[in-house]
Amino acid sequence: MTNDISKLEEKIGFVANDKKLLGQAMVHRSYLNEHRDFELEHNERLEFLGDAVLELVSTEYLYNNFSNPEGELTNFRSALVNGKMLATVAGEVGLEEHLMMSRGEEKDTGKARQYLLANSVEAVIGAIYLDQGYEPAKKFITEKILIHMDDILAEKLYEDPKSRFQEEAQEQIGVTPSYHVEKEWGPDHDKHFIIGAYIGNEKIAEGEGTSKQAAQRRAAEKGLIAKGWNKKEE
């Protein structure tokens, strides 16, 4: 973890007028629990603002560049701005080195870390917008996030994995996949499911989730990988 704002500015391609504002974008709430006298606030308000700016810029971009109907544009936008994509962007930019978080958060490498990284991208966008306005924020979003649109289209990341798995199974094998609960546990308020994705009698993959729908999606994602149907089209 480093608080070198100049290095952060170099990574994001933006020189801030208010260095503290950009620094605040890197402060997770958990850090303040361990450093109560720290001079900056946490980044949640910046994240809230950045989320709105990101949605506007991405919507404007899709409207101007694609003639698809509203439903498809919504799917495109979701693929551009979801947590997984934003966490990927945070990794590409190198934000993690600058994040200030608790020791517990530093040790977490799972979904919580991905969520934290995604939020940091939105906080940076919020800081840029507050510091210098819409155009610099749009420039950052265009250069760091919208460049992934070609990959999203090539890999059909905008599609629901269940729909994609069904489409591929029907096209490649002529069979519609089915899903079966392999295991479930936990009380009603905290259920967990393991669901198998089958083609005929063959189990292709398993997925785990806190709802049957989430577990099915995960099983479909793994099924696409297992069958090699997740590759880019040549």
Q: Which two tokens stand for residue 78?
A: 């979701």
Compute the distance between CA of residue 114 and CA of residue 112 in angstroms, rounded to an integer.
5
Please, what's the b/e burial string for 150-168 (b: 16 or more CB within 10 A of its CB; e: otherwise)?
eebeeebbbeebbebbbeb
Residue with token string 């450093």 = 35
Active site annotation includes 122: yes
Catalytic position from the list 47, 51, 168, 221: 51
User: Cβ atoms within 10 A of the Cβ of 213, count?
Assistant: 13
Strands of the chain, DSSP E: 178-185, 192-199, 202-209
Q: Which of 105, 122, 131, 221 is catalytic?
A: 122
Known catalytic residue at 51: yes
Catalytic residues: 51, 122
